Amino acid sequence: MDNDEPKRPDVTVIEVPQWQGSSSPAAHRLRAGARLLAGLLPTADRRTVDVADEAGAAALAGNARRIRAVLERADGRFTVTLGGDCGVELEPIAAAARRYGDRLTVVWFDAHGDLNTPASSPSGAFHGMVLRTLLGDGPVGLVPDRPLKPSQVVLAGVRDLDPAEHDYAAAAGIPTAGDPDALVEAVGDASAVYVHIDLDVLDPSVFRSVGLPTPGGLTPDRLLAMVTALARRFEVAGLGITEYEPARPEDQDLLAGLVRPIVDVCRSSVAGLVEPRARAAWPAEVTEERGGWLLRHTAGVRRRRSNSAVPPPAGAEKAVREVEHFYRERSRPVIVQIPDGVDDGFDRLDALLDRRGYRLDAPTAVLTAFTEDVVAATEDAAAPVEVAATPETWLPVFGELSPSADAEAVGSQVISRIAAPAGFATTTRDGGPAGLGLFVADTGWAGVFCMAVRPEHRRQGLAAAVLGAGARWAARQGAHRMYLQVETDNDAAWRLYAKTGFTRSYAYHYRIAP
């Protein structure tokens, strides 16, 4: 990627103006609702699904196929599905279940359980059967190939269950939560959550633009607090917001202040889990907080992550001159690491730095994988790899294979400061060092750093062998997830990581002062 190319949106919005699943007399308004919801996220990569014109199960099945096709082209970005009725969630949740398997929990924010079957539904409307269909009991042609288990579902804000739904939820042991702490506890030890929000989960005293308003709902602040609690504890695998039937201007105004914070906290969930661990795994010599900024400096090291500033999501512009002073008094260029996404604060900062002449540099993606998937994908990598617990024998190899002139300083100023368990991997070929990698474990995650292979030994499976050895080491440390950073134009690295189970989770780029 050309460093002067504008950054790409980090969120894909799938707009699905589906109405066929609704029993509301004003279901036609769902079309406008989907469009207005998508309009609240103007910087996202927006995809609109052409839904069928007719009603019926065949139309719903056709819509699902179209949604699945759009999902497959989302290119790994965080995906937000905006409806339309709740039935638009079939394919996004099924896709998340295929990716995460039993490690996924679906949190169903809704006034209703949507747990009816065609036989038990009083209305016969599909939007009251969606969750039960995802659990394997639904109309023919709509049940996913990998149904959820009841243990993978938590109901949130639900207050109106039909008798058959109540009996099913009780027999299946599906929990209901109404506050942030109870919700996190109910999700338990899942690796990821999919967040579904039917807007009738909100109390009709504050929001009435839904087909089936039900008293006793959540306030917007409570809903945001509950979603935030999930995103701070778990990876959010996807988000859906549905059932908006615009009827009052004040309801659109409410959504204008609610939807973007929900989307951004969900999109940022992986970054919130990974970035603190990555900072500890690649420690800076000096770290200071000023005006909400995290300022990092490491003498003698030229790498951006060791000498860059991380801004807060709001109010960052006020402290830019102080940040510039911090680095210039240390005779270092001013480098700012900016997350990609839909957050207004980061967008405003990015625009300000652009006007001040800061050039765009090193667009970078953070990839994540399940450790067991990396182990499985590298089983055939036969090259012998040694993983040492200390860096003494590893550092000379790093100095030899690293293309950077600051390798010695990295060893003394960064590697020697790592406090968490680390695995120092090396492999040899023709009697000499041929490849290496560094793996750092931290409370369930392991970071991948310093992957390198000698040029004459590339495309011989050595990088996969090192990665596999690191994954097996990570598993022994109790790390069930792995992460790494890769620049977007490093095609060879992307091919390796894609083959070994890594997928894109979020992205950032740097701005460097002139």
Whether the Cβ atoms of residue 365 and residue 504 lie closer than 8 Å to each other: yes
Instruction: Write the class of the CATH domain 367-508.
Output: alpha beta
Q: Which two tokens stand for residue 447?
A: 């970071």
Give per-residue pLDDT as tens, 98-118: 999 999 999 999 999 999 999
Distances 8 to 3, 12, 44 between C-alpha atoms, Å: 12, 10, 9
What fold does the segment set 11-267 form as a domain? Arginase; Chain A (3.40.800)
The pLDDT, as a whole number, for residue 9 is: 64
What amino acid occupies position 408?
Answer: E
Give per-residue pLDDT as tens, 343-364: 678 888 999 999 999 999 999 9
The pLDDT, as a whole number, for residue 223 is: 98
Written as one string, the DSSP assignment of 261-277 is HHHHHHHTHHHHHHHHH
State how far the Cα of 219 lies from the Cα of 205, in Å rounded to an integer. 9
Pick left, alpha or beta for residue 486 (phi over 0 → left; psi -120 to 50 → alpha; otherwise beta).
beta
The pLDDT, as a whole number, for residue 342 is: 60
Q: Which two tokens stand for residue 505?
A: 């989770």
Residue ranges of the chain whose pLDDT lies below 70: 1-9, 341-343
Question: C-alpha angle 436/440/445, rounded to 5°?
Answer: 125
Q: What is the pTM of this model?
A: 0.88
Alpha helices, DSSP H only, in 302-343?
320-328
Please tell me whether the peptide bond between 431 and the residue prior to it is cis, using omega within 30 degrees of 0: no
The pLDDT, as a whole number, for residue 309 is: 97
The pLDDT, as a whole number, for residue 5 is: 46
The residue ranges of every structural domain in the chain are 11-267, 285-362, 367-508
The pLDDT, as a whole number, for residue 1 is: 36
Do 11-267 and 367-508 come out as alike in CATH topology? no
